[in-house]
Structure 1
Amino acid sequence: MTIKRILVIDDEADIREIVKVSLQITKQWEVFTADSSAEGIAIATAQQPDAILLDVMMPDMNGLDTLQHLSQNPATQAIPVILLTATVKVVTQRQYLQLGAKAVLIKPFDPGLIARQIEQVLGWDVM
């Protein structure tokens, strides 16, 4: 079984740390973190993670603009992106999926379940 590599892009340090620790403890995944979209895009390009967890609401460049940059960049367009958002509107979530997100996870999320949710939406749970 190969160890998955996940990139978490979120401007909130607490969220980055909770996700990182949760994924490392529950799945022993390698987790990279970025506190801005620009840093996240750079890490995604250099590290080629298996998936990206991306916050929608960020100060420098919002998650949708970041998603667009990632999907237009040949180096990162194949990396699945899961959006993290506090917005629970179904219409908004549908729009995110149409823009290329693989899934939308709602904040607050359960740290004990997030790795399982990632596996399910990306089809990793069948391996």
Structure 2
Amino acid sequence: MPLQRIMHVEDDESIRAVAEIALTDVAGFELLSCGSGQSAINQVEAFAPQLILLDVMMPQMDGLQTLAALRQLPGVKTIPVVFMTARIQQAEKQHYLDAGAIAVIDKPFDPMQLGDTLHRLYQQQLDNN
């Protein structure tokens, strides 16, 4: 099944807005944008995303804590997660991959390529399983 439904978790409103345009208007995805980890946890099961795009640095609950909490929900355990971060050091990226992400996207990201990148990562994940 092609990628259609994405949940984006990002505390920065301007980044959420750019990603929303990139993912809905440019790439044609159905998108649920959440401003916090807790908001994502509260809405993820009802929205049933095929992929979660998750910011690393957020107040209250960071991306790693959010991922750990999401993985506790039965219907969410196998949903692919892609982290998005301005922290671009390889050791940090490896830490996010070790935590269960399928990929890490650097900020700033190219809005015109974001949808294609997520399509490719999702397809790779399907092909690997």
- Conservation of the 8 A alpha-carbon contact between 2:6 and 2:31: yes
Equivalent residue for 1:8?
8
Alignment of structure 1 residues 41-120 onto 2, 5 Å: 41-120=41-120
Q: Over aligned residues, Cα RMSD in angstroms?
A: 1.8
Percent pairwise identity: 35
Once the two structures are superposed, residues 20-69 of structure 1 have per-residue CA deviations (whole angstroms, 9 ceiling, x without a partner) of 11111222111111101000111112111111111000001000011111
- Conservation of the 8 A alpha-carbon contact between 1:3 and 1:30: no
TM-score by length of 1: 0.92
Q: Which consecutive unaligned segments of at least 5 residues does structure 2 have?
A: none
Q: 2:43 is matched by which residue type in structure 1?
A: I
Count of aligned positions: 126
Aligned mates of 1:106, 1:76 — CA distance in 2: 24
Equivalent residue for 1:36?
36
How far did 1:3 drift?
6.3
How far did 1:72 drift?
2.4
Aligned mates of 1:107, 1:71 — CA distance in 2: 24
How far did 1:8 drift?
0.7
Stretches of 4+ aligned residues off by more than 2 angstroms = none
- Conservation of the 8 A alpha-carbon contact between 1:7 and 1:33: yes
TM-score by length of 2: 0.90
Q: Which consecutive unaligned segments of at least 5 residues does structure 1 have?
A: none
